[in-house]
């Protein structure tokens, strides 16, 4: 996430590490937007 407010549901640590989550990386299917969001797609 680049901008905006959101909450996340529990994510698999095999997919998103604690470090990645702290950088704003999250699984789109686990995000609950609380405002308009600006996102950046991460490629494998």
* pLDDT tens readout for residues 1-44: 889 999 999 999 999 999 999 988 889 899 999 999 998 887 76
The per-residue pLDDT for 38 is: 94
Q: Where are the alpha helices (DSSP H) in the chain?
A: 18-22
26: number of Cβ within 10 Å: 20
Q: Reduced to 3 states, what is the DSSP secondary structure of residue 29?
A: helix
The per-residue pLDDT for 44 is: 67
The per-residue pLDDT for 25 is: 87
21 with 8: CB under 8 angstroms? yes
The residue ranges of every structural domain in the chain are 1-44
The per-residue pLDDT for 1 is: 83
């Amino acid at each position: 996430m680049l901008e905006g407010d959101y909450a996340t549901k529990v994510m698999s640590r095999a997919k998103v590490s604690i470090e990645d989550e702290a950088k704003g990386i999250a699984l789109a299917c686990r995000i609950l937007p609380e405002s308009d969001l600006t996102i950046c797609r991460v490629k494998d």
